[in-house]
């Protein structure tokens, strides 16, 4: 009795409130530009997330790049940025190469012009996150890219997941980027320590045999540690090689004499140099000064753009390296030729793998967005996660839904002697393309847990 009384009394009040609330909502929705009559769909299925929908409501969508333009990785970062610039230009101009990647690109993506904004990260995680935060505040970027240091990639992965904005890792060699530090909002196109190790390992064993002694040089952060571990694991388990010393140096070391003295006294036959960027240039040059090269055989498991140009072919001749791309693959792959030609026309040199990685990462994103028909991040993520076969400069590839790593070939190259170079950029000879499936770990082997969509 008392219950029915209560109900009778309160129902009209609640009903009135609800009507008022809904009315206010409708009125409010019509005031927001672009909300209009489809406001209901957003409100129920797709609440605003990250910079969506604000970032894609104007005539232009922005991509924020944080690449090193100063410091140890400046040379590689600059090359990577040029690849990104070219990709954006191709998206906006319907270039035939971009059309091969993303047929639905039409003077931009989904009717919006694409613009790249970039800042110097100096390969420092804090600086990179700050730069991206500024781009979010000022430009409402809908996509972030950059790294050229896995320490940055890991930091931006976490930042992307927190901010719910898509992130492409660019150059990042650490197993962790799509391993234990993987995120739902992050994707990596390029090769990495584990794939490099499993691709170059068999070549080393075939050429140099079993039970050899190796000295490692490792930069002191996630890329260095995971790559050295992957290479050493392969060589010790498969061929009984022994790591006699591992010289770990901080990023940005200039004088490697102390490390090289330890290596000179280690009795190693091989110098496996995992250092990268200017660290690799200086450590390799100084290894020669100390007489370690050519006494020991140099191996570069994770190739460095411009290394051969900077140290000269005398030091890289005969050296085995694993890489993402080398321009002479244009002879075999028509898309690679189109890329090398248009890059060279714009920038006056043949692109290295940083530029290739920047370009292809963007081209894949353009495809995913245009195929999904939406900038809504979870839609784009699900499009990647379909794992469809898509083009790259080196044939068909796909992204693994479990860890967002692109399954793509690893290129094995060997340094050419100066006398064999056909032009002044003909530093490496491509020996083999190792298919991605053969060299990748199981998707969960490195502890990847992607996290939430929203």
Partner 1 sequence: MINWANFISQCFNGLVLGALLALISSGLTIIYGTLGVLNLAHGAMFMLGGYAGWVAYTHSGSFVVAAIAGSLFVMVVGVVTERLIIRYFYARPPEDQLLVTFGLGIVFVEAVRFFFGSLSKSVPPPAPLMGITPLGFMVYPTYRLALLGIVTVALLALYFVLYRTRIGMIVRAGIEDSVMVDSLGINVYRIFMLVFGIGAMAAGFAGIVNAPVVSIAPDVGDAILVQTFVVVVIGGVGSFPGAVLGGLIAGEIISITSMFNPGYSYVMLFVAMTLVLVLRPRGLLGAAGRE
Q: Which is nearer to partner 1, 311 or 450 (CB)?
A: 311
d(CA 384, CA 398): 8
d(CA 162, CA 181): 13
Cis check for the bond before 34: say yes or no (omega within 30 of 0).
no
3-state secondary structure 116-167: EEEEECCCCHHHHHHHHHHHHHHHCCCEEECCCCHHHHHHHHHHHHHHCCEE
Q: What angle do CA 106, 109, 111 make, to 5 degrees?
A: 75
List the structure tokens of 52.
């969506």
Contact 105, 53 (CB under 8 A): no
Rounded to the nearest angstrom, the gap between the alpha carbon of residue 371 and the centroid of all alpha carbons in its chain is 21
Helix 222-239 with 193-208: angle, nearest 10 deg: 40
Q: Which is nearer to partner 1, 81 or 184 (CB)?
A: 81
Q: Which is nearer to partner 1, 57 or 286 (CB)?
A: 286
At its nearest, how many Å lie between partner 1 and the CB of residue 245? 7
Q: Which is nearer to partner 1, 60 or 289 (CB)?
A: 289
At its nearest, how many Å lie between partner 1 and the CB of residue 411? 22
At its nearest, how many Å lie between partner 1 and the CB of residue 266? 6
At its nearest, how many Å lie between partner 1 and the CB of residue 393? 24
Q: Which is nearer to partner 1, 281 or 397 (CB)?
A: 281
d(CA 197, CA 52): 39
Distances (CA, A) of 8 to 17, 20, 66: 16, 20, 62
Q: Which is nearer to partner 1, 93 or 257 (CB)?
A: 257
- Report the C-alpha dihedral over residues 4, 10, 12, 15, rounded to 10 degrees: -120
Q: Which is nearer to partner 1, 253 or 392 (CB)?
A: 253
Q: Rule CB under 8 A: which residues touch partner 1?
A: 69-72, 74-75, 78, 220, 245, 247-250, 252-255, 257-259, 261-262, 264-266, 278, 281-282, 285-286, 289-291, 306, 309-310, 312
Q: Which is nearer to partner 1, 58 or 252 (CB)?
A: 252
At its nearest, how many Å lie between partner 1 and the CB of residue 348? 12
Q: Buried (b) or exposed (e) across 344-382, using 16+ Cβ within 10 A?
A: eeebeebbbbbbbbbbbbbbbbbbbbbbbebbbbbbbbe
Q: Which is nearer to partner 1, 60 or 262 (CB)?
A: 262
Other Cβ atoms within 10 Å of 145 Cβ, number: 28
d(CA 352, CA 337): 13
At its nearest, how many Å lie between partner 1 and the CB of residue 358? 16
List the structure tokens of 312.
């000269």
At its nearest, how many Å lie between partner 1 and the CB of residue 281? 6
At its nearest, how many Å lie between partner 1 and the CB of residue 289? 4
At its nearest, how many Å lie between partner 1 and the CB of residue 78? 6
d(CA 364, CA 361): 5
Q: Which is nearer to partner 1, 198 or 232 (CB)?
A: 232
At its nearest, how many Å lie between partner 1 and the CB of residue 450? 33
């Amino acid at each position: 009795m008392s219950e029915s009384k209560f109900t009778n009394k309160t129902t009209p009040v609640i009903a009135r409130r609800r009507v008022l609330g809904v009315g206010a909502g409708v009125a409010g929705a019509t005031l927001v530009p672009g909300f209009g009559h489809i406001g209901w769909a957003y409100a129920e299925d797709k609440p605003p997330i990250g910079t969506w929908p604000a970032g894609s409501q104007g005539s232009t969508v922005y991509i924020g790049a944080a690449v090193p333009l100063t410091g140890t990785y400046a040379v590689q970062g600059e090359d990577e940025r040029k690849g990104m610039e070219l990709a954006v230009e191709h998206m906006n101009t319907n270039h035939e190469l971009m059309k091969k990647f993303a047929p639905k690109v039409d003077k931009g993506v989904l009717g919006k012009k694409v613009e790249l904004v970039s800042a110097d990260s100096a390969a420092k995680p804090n600086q990179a996150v700050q730069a991206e935060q500024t781009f979010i505040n000022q430009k409402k970027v809908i996509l972030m890219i950059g790294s050229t240091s896995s320490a940055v990639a890991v930091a931006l992965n976490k930042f992307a997941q927190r901010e719910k904005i898509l992130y492409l890792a660019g150059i990042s060699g650490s197993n962790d980027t799509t391993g234990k530090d993987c995120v739902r909002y992050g994707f990596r196109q390029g090769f990495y320590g584990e794939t490099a190790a499993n691709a170059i390992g068999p070549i080393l064993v075939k050429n140099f045999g079993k039970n050899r002694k190796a000295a490692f040089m490792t930069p002191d952060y996630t890329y260095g540690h995971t790559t050295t571990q992957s290479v050493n694991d392969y060589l010790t388990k498969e061929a009984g090689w022994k790591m006699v010393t591992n010289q770990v140096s901080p990023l940005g070391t200039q004088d490697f004499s102390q490390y090289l003295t330890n290596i000179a006294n280690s009795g190693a036959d091989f110098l496996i140099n995992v250092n990268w960027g200017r660290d690799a240039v200086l450590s390799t040059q100084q290894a020669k000064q100390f007489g370690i090269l050519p006494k020991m055989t140099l191996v570069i498991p994770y190739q460095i753009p411009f290394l051969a140009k900077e140290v000269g072919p005398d030091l890289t001749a005969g050296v085995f390296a694993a890489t993402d791309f080398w321009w002479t693959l244009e002879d075999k792959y028509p898309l690679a030729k189109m890329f090398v030609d248009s890059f060279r026309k714009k920038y006056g040199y043949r692109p290295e793998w940083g530029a290739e990685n920047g370009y292809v990462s963007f081209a894949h994103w353009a495809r995913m967005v245009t195929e999904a028909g939406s900038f809504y991040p979870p839609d784009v993520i699900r499009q990647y996660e379909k794992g469809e076969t898509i083009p790259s400069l080196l044939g068909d590839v796909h992204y693994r839904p479990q860890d967002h790593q692109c399954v793509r070939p690893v290129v094995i190259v060997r340094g050419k002697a100066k006398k064999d170079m056909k032009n002044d950029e003909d530093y490496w000879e491509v020996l083999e393309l190792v298919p991605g499936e053969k060299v990748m770990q199981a998707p969960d082997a490195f502890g990847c847990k992607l996290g939430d969509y929203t």
